[in-house]
Amino acid sequence: MANPGKTAFEGLVRAYSTELYRFAYWLTRDRFAAEDLVQETFARAWTASKSLREQRAVKSWLYAILRNEHARLFERKRLDMVEEQDLDALEDERLCAPSDEIEMREALHALPATYREPLLLQVLGGFNCDEIARLMNLTPGAVMTRLSRARLTLRRCRVDVNRNVMR
């Protein structure tokens, strides 16, 4: 006979693995690191599944675990340096225009983390303001303020870039 807890957890994995992977990939920009991060998230969720009090909070709970696991990566991460790498020989094989992507990345990375994180949770995670507030231990009003300021800052960056291109 199948274990009902295991079956429920398998459904949870099927329901949220794609979303978590998308968010993890955005955080790490590495397919393998994102896969490891999602796998570690579900491993921790499995061991701590008894501590989940509300089934409605599963999505927020998984995102919180993923964020914590991502933070742990930096605690133990050592950067490998390859001094003889020819950067001009590297090619970007993505579909969108490299200049647009670079522009958006620079604008996102220029945002303070307090603005960037709620924006990514909303756009990539699909969370509403109340869920983001619970995830980040903020009030919903503070989240709405940060989201509007993030969007305003991104719009200003876009206008400044367009002005520079037109000159």
What's the average model confidence in pLDDT over 140-164?
79
pLDDT of the residue at 3 = 56
Distance in angstroms (rounded) separating the CA atoms of residues 105 and 92: 14
Mean pLDDT of the chain: 79
pLDDT of residue 163: 46
At residue 142, does pLDDT exceed 80?
A: yes
pLDDT of residue 130 exceeding 50, the answer is: yes
- Cβ–Cβ contacts within 10 Å for residue 10, how many? 12
The percent of residues in the chain predicted with pLDDT above 70, rounded, is: 75
Q: How many CB atoms lie within 10 A of CB 16?
A: 20
Of residues 28 and 5, more confidence is placed in 28
- As a whole number of angstroms, the distance between CA 45 and CA 18 comes to 16
State the fold for domain 1-78.
Rna Polymerase Sigma Factor; Chain: A (1.10.1740)
Residue-wise DSSP of the chain: ---HHHHHHHHHHHHHHHHHHHHHHHHH--HHHHHHHHHHHHHHHHHTGGG---GGGHHHHHHHHHHHHHHHHHHH------TT--GGG-----SS-HHHHHHHHHHHHHS-HHHHHHHHHHHTT---HHHHHHHHT--HHHHHHHHHHHHHHHHHHHHHHHHHHH-
Annotated domain spans of the chain:
1-78, 95-167
Which span out of 60-64, 100-104, 157-161 was modeled with the highest average pLDDT? 60-64
Give 5's pLDDT tier (boundaries 50, 70, 90): low
The C-alpha atoms of residue 20 and residue 62 are separated, in whole angstroms, by 8
Residues 131-149: what's their mean pLDDT? Answer: 91
Residue 65 in contact with residue 41, Cβ under 8 Å?
yes
pLDDT greater than 60 at residue 113: yes
Contact predicate 114/146, CB 8 Å: yes
- Please identify, in words, the CATH class of the domain defined by 95-167: mainly alpha
The pLDDT of residue 144 is above 90: yes
pTM of the model: 0.49
Higher pLDDT, residue 95 or 56? 56
Residue 26 scores a pLDDT above 60: yes
| pLDDT tens, residue by residue, 63-107 | 989 988 888 877 665 666 666 666 666 555 555 566 777 777 788
At 166, the pLDDT band (50, 70, 90 cuts) reads very low
